[in-house]
Amino acid sequence: MDKPRANTLTIVIPAYRMHSQLFNNMLDGIREEDAQKRIADKTNHFAWMAGNLVNCRYWLAEVLGIREKDPNEDLFKDAKAIDTSLQYPPLEELKKQWHEISPLLYRKLLSVEEEQLNEAYAFGMDTPYLEENKLNMVGMSLDRESYLFGQLGLMRKTLGYEGVRYDLDDSLSY
């Protein structure tokens, strides 16, 4: 396994890589006509959740100094809620974007210095026990991804798809 320069990220790297894998597994077999379906018009749909996951990676990349921009930023920036009047990108497009930003962010996570992780980064939660810095943003980002993967897993079952599998693609190195 790749070792990050910042020892505080040692626990993050396996989770990050598992999430990279899970993204493919969550979308596996989902028909595009199902990607825009919502449950009783009260939930997000596959396309929104997948797009939000992509946006999370682009956002964390930006926090850590990568200049790549999410091509769908206008749909997701600043935790923008689903807008049912909009058409969200096809899953294959989101999958392509996920695999464009993910290796760049992975390399950054491996090379980032402790000093950069300790830099202040305001995220406006005013939580007394959570220091607002870039290290905690890495953790918050992975937590957000986990939350969205849980929603996707539930949507798979609700829409009649098999549960997510944890098969790994050995060629996916990020």
pLDDT band at 1 (very low <50, low <70, confident <90, very high): low
Question: Mean of the pLDDT values across residues 141-161?
Answer: 97
Q: Could you tell me the residue ranges of all domains in the chain?
A: 7-158
Question: Mean of the pLDDT values across residues 43-52?
Answer: 96
List, for residues 12-24, the tens digit of each pLDDT value: 999 999 999 999 9
Is pTM beyond 0.75? Reply is yes
Check whether 6 has a pLDDT greater than 80. no
**For helices 46-63 and 91-111, what crossing angle results, to 10°?**
30
List, for residues 59-93, the tens digit of each pLDDT value: 999 999 999 999 999 999 888 999 999 999 999 99
Q: Six-digit token pair at 131?
A: 């220091």
The overall average pLDDT reported for the chain is 94
Distance CA 28, CA 18 (A): 15
Nearest to 148 by CA among 13, 11, 19, 1: 19
pLDDT band at 5 (very low <50, low <70, confident <90, very high): confident
Count Cβ atoms below 10 Å from residue 156 Cβ, excluding itself. 21
Q: Output the pLDDT for position 69.
A: 97
Architecture of the structural domain at 7-158: Up-down Bundle (1.20)
Question: Mean of the pLDDT values across residues 33-50?
Answer: 93
Name 137's bridge partners.
none
